[in-house]
Amino acid sequence: MPDYYQDDLALVHDSGFAFHGNRCAPGILELLEPVRRRDGVVLELGCGSGSLTGHLLDAGHRVIATDGSPAMLARARTRLPAADLRRLVLPADRLPAVDAVVGVGHVLNYLDDEESVTRTVTAIADALRPGGVLAIDVIDLGWLDDWRNMTSLARVNEEWAVFSRPVATGRRRMVQEMTTFVRSADASWRRSDERHENVLLDVAGLVAVLERHGMTAGKRTSFGSERLPTGLFAVVGQK
Ligand SMILES: C[S@@+](CC[C@H](N)C(=O)[O-])C[C@H]1O[C@@H](n2cnc3c(N)ncnc32)[C@H](O)[C@@H]1O
């Protein structure tokens, strides 16, 4: 995994972008209700700083929350000191056997290529115990045209600023350059830069992979009654 979400972008994400996990939580909790009733274990992939994790724990779930970024995990540890947080890098690391797999914030799109995603989706299907539930969001290929027309985004507040700009995309790839400025104790601003490459995925194709591996699954426009951003779909399945 490239060095995505180092200290400053992790801080900005935690402080300014936790809303997505908050928004998706009610729908995911409803899907997970049978798992909670039987005290099953939920594996969260790409948990970031733990915005969804907090909702899962508050609802009484047993959760293993994982991410590839040490800085994101450190933020999650601050937010949720009692949580079971582990570094798990996809697609290389083995997934534990669990009763549910969840993820928000398109972690699968961060993998290098479709082959890595297929490997990971297969590993998810294998890791789920019978009756297990999957709920994960994925950016679909269909978003490519909107992405090409996208302009730069900026968010600025007293403590930090983030600027993100799309750069050249391949057929199934979107690349963003992100610059953060974080205010230091002496009131100076520290600049950091990251380049994020996302592979756009044929979500219907991922559903087919899950079905070939013993699951029933579907591509949905949301987990529950929330509205997902354009291009993002929920993949919901059961083993
Ligand atoms: C857009 S963030 C979403 C974080 C969090 N779920 C949320 O919604 O706030 C994507 C997350 O995926 C993680 N990630 C990216 N590539 C990964 C990989 N190969 N293995 C594990 N985690 C990865 C990043 O570190 C980051 O925390």
For residue 200, the CA-to-ligand 1 centroid distance in Å is 15
The domains found in the chain, sorted by start residue, are: 7-140+201-238 (3.40.50.150), 143-198 (2.20.25.110)
Residue 187 CB neighbours (<10 A): 6
CA atoms within 13 A on the CB side of 73: 16
DSSP state letter for 108: G
Which tens digit of pLDDT belongs to each residue from 177-193?
Answer: 999 999 999 989 999 99
Which tens digit of pLDDT belongs to each residue from 100-153?
Answer: 999 999 999 999 999 999 999 999 999 999 999 999 999 999 887 777 677 788
Cα-Cα-Cα-Cα dihedral sign, residues 159, 68, 201, 210: negative
Q: Which atom of ligand 1 is nearest to the CA of 18?
A: 9
Phi, psi of 185 (to 5 degrees): -60, -35
Ligand 1: residues whose CB is within 6 Å? 1, 4-5, 17-18, 20-21, 46-48, 51-52, 67-69, 72, 89-90, 104-105, 107, 110-111
CA-based Rg of the chain, rounded to a whole angstrom? 17
Which tens digit of pLDDT belongs to each residue from 205-219?
Answer: 999 999 999 999 999
Mutation test residue for ligand 1: of 107, 112, 113, the one with most atoms within 8 Å of CB:
107
